[in-house]
């Protein structure tokens, strides 16, 4: 059951309050963690309602649907993040239309994104997706594969490697929720020790944003708790 567009201001305010509480509980600076509103399978009207409350960053997973909404909302100053599976047949539109891609996990795709990034846009900001728990999802590199891919991606001229993203299996247990986020934070700090200029941990969703903020998330990706169930 999708929520009404009229409910979005209140739902968004509640998520912002949760995020502020989580920052405070973790001893982080207020506003340090960016909120990415995940608008996949939500109509343009829902995005517009959130934008009217000052939300600028939106995450989409399905390219065709995303492009339609981007065109409908072209008059608004929004920042689009691609968070869905990234295959070679999607790179051209992602490179041309998005500011960020969070789900990079293959060098071939990275090379295409770099080649296809239009010259009049700044480099595409990218995160490498890491499968820290080693199960369920087939997306993401293993921690062992990460340094090699990071080195190759960092060398591509039209990409800017910003950090890491993970999408762990859902859990209701806060301790279980924190383990993969801690592993991702350690992988980022290992990259920094190796000299990579990376600052982004894209982790945490509606059900586990507090755990992610406690472990150092810099971007949380929240869909359901802002927009209601997906259509
Ligand atoms: C759908 C999705 C989200 C948002 O999940 P919610 O549980 O609705 O907050 C976050 N990240 C990715 C990669 C997603 O596909």
What beta strand segments (E) does the chain contain? 34-38, 57-60, 79-82, 100-104, 124-129, 159-165, 200-202, 219-222
Measured from the Cα of 226, ligand 1's closest atom is 9
Measured from the Cα of 83, ligand 1's closest atom is 13
Question: Could you give the percent of the chain with pLDDT greater than 90?
Answer: 92
Q: Report DSSP letters for 5-63, one per residue.
A: GGGHHHHHHHHHHHHHHHHHHTTPPTT-SEEEEE-TT--HHHHHHHHHTT--EEEES-H
Distance 129 CA to ligand 1 centre (A): 14
pLDDT at 136 (0 to 100): 59
Residue matched to tokens 């000052």: 54
Work out the end-to-end distance of the chain between its first and last CA atoms, rounded to an integer number of angstroms. 7
DSSP β-bridge partners for residue 81: 59, 100
| Tokens encoding 13 | 């305010």
Measured from the Cα of 227, ligand 1's closest atom is 8
Average pLDDT, the chain: 96
pLDDT at 108 (0 to 100): 98
Does the pLDDT value for residue 75 go beyond 70? yes
Measured from the Cα of 205, ligand 1's closest atom is 9
Distance 222 CA to ligand 1 centre (A): 6
Does the pLDDT value for residue 139 go beyond 80? yes
Residue from 38, 129, 170, 203 to probe ligand 1 pocket by mutation (most atoms less than 8 Å from CB): 38
Q: Are 186 and 163 in contact (CB under 8 A)?
A: no
Rg of the Cα atoms in the chain = 17
User: Residues enclosing ligand 1, CB less than 6 A?
Assistant: 38, 40, 61, 83, 167, 205-207, 221-225
Read off the pLDDT of residues 39-59 as tens digits, 9 standing for 90 and up: 999 999 999 999 999 999 999
Q: Are 101 and 92 in contact (CB under 8 A)?
A: no
CA pair distance 204, 62, nearest whole angstrom = 20
pLDDT band at 1 (very low <50, low <70, confident <90, very high): very low
Q: Are 200 and 162 in contact (CB under 8 A)?
A: yes
Q: What burial class does residue 183 get, using C-beta atoms within 10 Å of its C-beta: 0-12 exposed, 13-18 middle, 19+ buried?
A: middle
* Atom 12 (ligand 1) nearest CA: 83
pLDDT at 2 (0 to 100): 56
């Amino acid at each position: 059951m999708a929520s009404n567009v009229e409910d979005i201001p209140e739902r968004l305010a509640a998520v912002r309050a949760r995020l502020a509480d989580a920052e405070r509980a973790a001893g982080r600076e207020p506003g340090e963690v960016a909120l990415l509103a995940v608008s996949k399978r939500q109509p343009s009207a829902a995005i517009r309602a959130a934008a009217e409350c000052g939300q600028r960053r939106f995450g989409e997973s399905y390219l065709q649907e995303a492009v339609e909404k981007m065109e409908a909302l072209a008059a608004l100053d929004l920042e689009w993040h691609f968070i869905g599976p990234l295959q070679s047949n999607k790179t051209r539109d992602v490179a041309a239309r998005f500011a960020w891609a969070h789900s990079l996990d293959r060098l071939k795709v990275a090379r295409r994104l770099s080649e296809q990034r239009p010259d009049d846009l700044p480099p595409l900001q990218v995160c490498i997706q890491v499968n820290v728990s080693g199960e369920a999802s087939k997306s993401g590199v293993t921690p062992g594969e990460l340094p090699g891919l990071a080195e190759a991606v960092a060398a591509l001229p039209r990409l800017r490697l910003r950090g890491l993203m993970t999408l762990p299996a859902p859990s209701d247990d806060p301790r279980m929720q924190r383990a993969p986020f801690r592993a991702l934070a350690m992988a980022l700090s290992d990259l920094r020790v190796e000299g990579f200029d990376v600052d982004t941990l894209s982790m945490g969703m509606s059900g586990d944003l507090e755990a992610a903020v406690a472990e150092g998330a810099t971007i949380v990706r929240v869909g359901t708790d802002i927009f209601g169930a997906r259509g």
